[in-house]
Amino acid sequence: MSYLQLQGVSKTYGPVSVIQGIDLKIEKGEFVVFVGPSGCGKSTLLRMIAGLTEIDGGSLQLDGRDITRLPSSKRDLAMVFQSYALYPHMSVYDNMSFALRLANVDKAVIRQKVERAAGILNLTQYLQRTPKELSGGQRQRVAIGRAIVRAPKVFLFDEPLSNLDAALRGQTRVEIAKLHRELGATTIYVTHDQVEAMTLADRVVVLRDGHIEQTGSPLELYDRPANQFVAQFIGTPQMNIIDTTALPAMSAVVGDGSGHDGFVGVRPENVLVRPAGEGRLAGRVELIESLGSNTLIYANVAGSAPGGVQIVAAQNTRTALRMGDPVGLDIAPASFHLFNRRGQTVAGAGAGAGEQRAAP
């Protein structure tokens, strides 16, 4: 049996079903990320696991014990919130030790646990400060430390980095990854940021409208998306999705010989920019984003659709191209994905050939 197992878990609010019979198994020590757009149900599902939102249907088991109806305080889980939820009048030490003091744990044991957690999170010198004397990143580390001292069976993170600026998000993301390696703890992490999902997770669970679209390692989802939604959600910049009716020439470019009627997906790094007059497609540069280490080239290709079709190319070199320049475009061999009109992956073609994973 898996360490944490969800069987047919569901949640409704009146006539609206927000979680639709989720089945999921999480192994001990695994770092699982729930990812999806706003309103997909990922935070609701996390709160159901935590015991903060009631489970209407199905069951939840942790380490062989049914915890479906247990209160949150009895589930042996610890949650880190987006808003930090620190007591403003308490010191860092008191915030981190609060739950242990409520449980009447020996003071010497409390000190040992708090000092160990503070050492792991580089908070030792801040133990006597109050939250208002800390930066946003330090406050989030205090919230994480408060969870660590409880030594729970599962850590739950609800978008813990969304209140931080870009630099702190990157730094704290690295700290969370290191913390997971050091503690070997089972972790469930909710985010809408697919970069966090790709860099942190052992396994990613992509959610949409209260159900699971696909689960797998970050690179499995990137290389073999089960459908168009996952293909576009995972990856930055987003996968190019080209309607073959808007750009009939794409059928010849991918060369599948089937006269595919649907959508062709191509990752920007697999779009090859050629000099004007070369390549299978002719386009014109609309925008160039120079990011230093790589360059994004947005090209417009004339097709049957008014205004043409935009295709984004990513390359790890700088470019002398300018807006308005004509270019040729090619697609790297066998790097494309085919989707039917319902957005489902078509088996036996391109990068997804025969290896797509069906949603559980």
CATH number reported for the structural domain that contains residue 45 in this entry = 3.40.50.300
Please say which residue of 165, 192, 223 terminates a domain: 223
Model confidence at 132, pLDDT cuts 50, 70, 90, reads very high
Classify residue 357: in a domain, yes or no: no
Indicate if 176 and 55 belong to the same structural domain: yes
pLDDT exceeds 80 at position 52: yes
How far is the C-alpha of 137 from the C-alpha of 344, rounded, in Å? 40
pLDDT of amino acid 359: 35
Q: Is the pLDDT of residue 54 over 80?
A: yes
Residue 353 has a pLDDT of 43
Taking the C-alpha atoms of residue 304 and residue 308, their distance in angstroms, rounded to an integer, is 7
Arithmetic mean of pLDDT over the chain: 90
pLDDT attached to residue 357: 35
Query: How many Cβ atoms sit within 10 Å of the Cβ of residue 291?
Result: 10
Instruction: Give the pLDDT score at 350.
Output: 57
DSSP letters, 211-275, are EEEEEE-HHHHHHS-SBHHHHHHSSSSPPEEEETTT-THHHHHHT-SS---SEEEE-GGGEEEEE
Looking at the structure, tell me whether residues 244 and 192 fall in a common domain.
Answer: no
* Gyration radius of the chain over CA positions: 24
**Residue 305, pLDDT score:** 75
Query: Which of 188, 223, 258 is the endpoint of a domain?
Result: 223
**pLDDT average, residue stretch 57-61:** 96
Q: What is the pLDDT of residue 160?
A: 87
pLDDT attached to residue 355: 36
Same domain, 301 and 251: yes
Structure tokens at 190: 């909710």
Query: Residue 40: pLDDT above 70?
Result: yes
Enter the pTM of the model: 0.88
Cα of 159 vs its chain's centroid, Å: 10
Query: Residue 297's domain is classified under what CATH number?
Result: 2.40.50.140
Name, in order, each residue with C-beta under 8 angstroms of 52's C-beta and a sequence gap of 6 or more.
72, 79
Q: Which of 223, 251, 283 is the last residue of a domain?
A: 223
pLDDT confidence band for 259 (50 / 70 / 90): low
pLDDT band of residue 1 (cuts 50, 70, 90) is low
pLDDT at 155: 93
Asked if the model's pLDDT at residue 60 lies above 70, the reply is yes
Domain that holds residue 283: 238-352
Same domain, 219 and 246: no
Beta pairing class for 240-243 and 77-80: unpaired
The answer to whether 229 and 343 have CB atoms below 8 angstroms apart is: yes
**146-169 pLDDT, tens per residue?**
999 988 999 999 998 887 787 778
- What is the CA angle 71-77-81, rounded to 5? 100
Q: Does pLDDT of 243 surpass 60?
A: yes
- Over residues 322-357, the pLDDT tens digits come to 999 999 999 998 888 999 999 999 875 556 543 333
When pLDDT is averaged across residues 234-242 and rounded to a whole number, the result is 93
Strands 31-35 and 203-208: parallel
The predicted model gives 104-108 an average pLDDT of 93
In a domain, 360, yes or no: no
| 169/140 same-domain check | yes
Q: Mean pLDDT, to the nearest integer, of 2-20? A: 94
**Across residues 95-114, what is the average pLDDT?**
93
198 and 337 co-located in one domain: no
Tally of domains in the chain: 2
Residue-level pLDDT at 167: 78
Q: Once rounded to an integer, what is the mean pLDDT over residues 294-317?
A: 92
> Same structural domain for residues 200 and 250?
no
The burial of 235, by beta-carbon neighbours within 10 Å (0-12 exposed, 13-18 middle, 19 or more buried), is given as: buried
Is 115 a residue whose pLDDT tops 70? yes
- For residues 128 and 65, membership in a common domain is answered with yes
- Residue where the block lists tokens 């109050």: 130
Domain co-membership, 324 together with 250: yes
Identify whether residues 284 and 212 lie together within a single domain.
no
* Residues 159-213 pLDDT 10s: 988 877 877 788 888 888 888 888 888 999 999 888 899 999 999 999 999 999 9
- High-pLDDT (> 90) share of the chain, %: 67
Q: What is the pLDDT of residue 348?
A: 59
Q: What is residue 256's predicted lDDT score, i.e. its pLDDT?
A: 57
DSSP conformation class of 99: H
b/e map 50-68, b = 16+ CB within 10 Å: bbbbebebbebbbeeeebb
- Whether the CB-CB separation of 247 and 305 falls below 8 Å is answered with yes
pLDDT band at 123, cuts 50/70/90? very high
Structure-block tokens of residue 240: 């190019």
Helices (H), 51-82: none
Do 204 and 242 lie in one domain? The reply is: no
